[in-house]
Amino acid sequence: MYFYSMIETSDLFALLDQRRAELGWSQAEVGRRAFGQADGSALQNIRRGSSPTFDKLQRLCEVLGLELSLSGITAKPLSVPSTQSDDFAHIPVHQAALAAGDGATNDADTIVDHLAFRKSWLSQIGVSSANAVLARAWGDSMLPSIHCGDMLLIDRSKRSIPIRRRSTKDRRPSQIYALLSEGKARVKRIERPESGLIILASDNPAFGPEILTGPQVDDLEIIGKVVWWGHTNRE
């Protein structure tokens, strides 16, 4: 049992940060959920020895699924929701928008949420939760496959594009990847017929293919392979 009036700030930080880790959140994500500020200052101030006000501590506990009670002041973990069980992995949702067009400039590292996926399903599609991230698509060049606003599940372990020479009878679609081109985040089908040539293709016939050669190929950064996407129907 922890008495807030007596507990050392280092112990308070350890309690809160342990719960944060159990939820799979970054310190910035805790700050966003508690105070609308996507930074880690709320927990870092406690780590540095600053005692939070009761209201701030109460808000942190609410967000982290802890119960703050008065008997002195006590904090104890609540029961963990079913989606926090060992059956689920909590995949971070990044603020980045992956443009299905000319590219989007944004803060790709900022985590704004987490979504729960069954570990058994991730294993079935060959994705490790440690390598999985989520981001939203933006634009319409990947229609009708990927719609603007769709959530994309990206496997960051798959960052190399294999060379594949096709026959004219090979109609298999190219694989979809999230990528950085000239510093802008995009989502495209990628074909690599030879080492110094990459083709970026859209599903929307209104958008023609892009041919990358030489330095353009070297500058291309693959974020990961898009292994799943979720579409919300908006009528």
Contact by Cβ (8 Å): 3, 74: yes
Q: Give the side-chain half-sphere CA count within 13 A for 128.
A: 6
Give pLDDT < 50 ranges for the chain: 1-6, 72-73, 75, 78-84, 103-107
Express each pLDDT in 71-123 by its tens digit. Answer: 544 545 544 444 445 788 888 888 778 877 554 444 456 777 788 888 899 99
pTM of model > 0.85: no
* Residue 17: Cβ within 10 Å count: 18
Domains defined for the chain, CATH in brackets: 9-80 (1.10.260), 88-230 (2.10.109.10)
